[in-house]
Structure 1
């Protein structure tokens, strides 16, 4: 998957703790979360599962979308994930390739 500005949601289990982030390289950033390469919120709560992402053409648009999602109620974020990924599958294999 080519590097594009992307908004994403990580979790530790279905309907568990949620983290909304934005990155210019989704594969690298999700790998950092999965490998606990950097201390912080996702490391502390073991948020290793990518359950939703949305690519954008421009970094500014992605950043604006991330800020908007961070203001959303938790239930709205759950509904967003379940609309696209009802089984809460980890999408790592989809982005990481073979």
Structure 2
């Protein structure tokens, strides 16, 4: 029997100037990223024009992904930027197509 394993994601978005970040989690990163770009969903991302995906982590467990989101939201700003830059040093928008 083959079972499709559901994946969950903790992700970080930023605005064009990389001055503001948003942290969230989802079970469909591609769909959620498209929603942010269309300004559907989180009011914070609409208000600050945040839609560039700059970081994400993949998980097999929803609770773990949600816990990671909470953890990152509680981190100091500098820690968040250091984490992002550790895998995306140029802070480029990631393409998930």
TM-score by length of 1: 0.88
* 8 Å Cα contact 1:14/1:88 also seen in 2: no
Cα gap change, 1:4 to 1:14, in 2 (>3 Å): farther
Aligned to 1:80: 83
For structure 2, the residue ranges without an aligned partner over 5 or more in a row are none
For structure 1, the residue ranges without an aligned partner over 5 or more in a row are none
1:11 aligns with 2:14: yes
Could you list the structure 1 runs, at least 4 aligned residues long, displaced by more than 2 angstroms after superposition: none
Offset from partner CA, 1:14-35 (integer Å, 9 cap, x none): 5410100000100010101111
Count the aligned residue pairs. 93
Cα RMSD between the aligned structures? 1.6
Offset from partner CA, 1:50-72 (integer Å, 9 cap, x none): 00000001001101110100000
TM-score by length of 2: 0.89
Report the structure number with the largest CA radius of gyration: 2
Counterparts of 1:3 and 1:33, CA distance in 2:
21
Q: Which moved more, 1:13-22 or 1:54-63?
A: 13-22
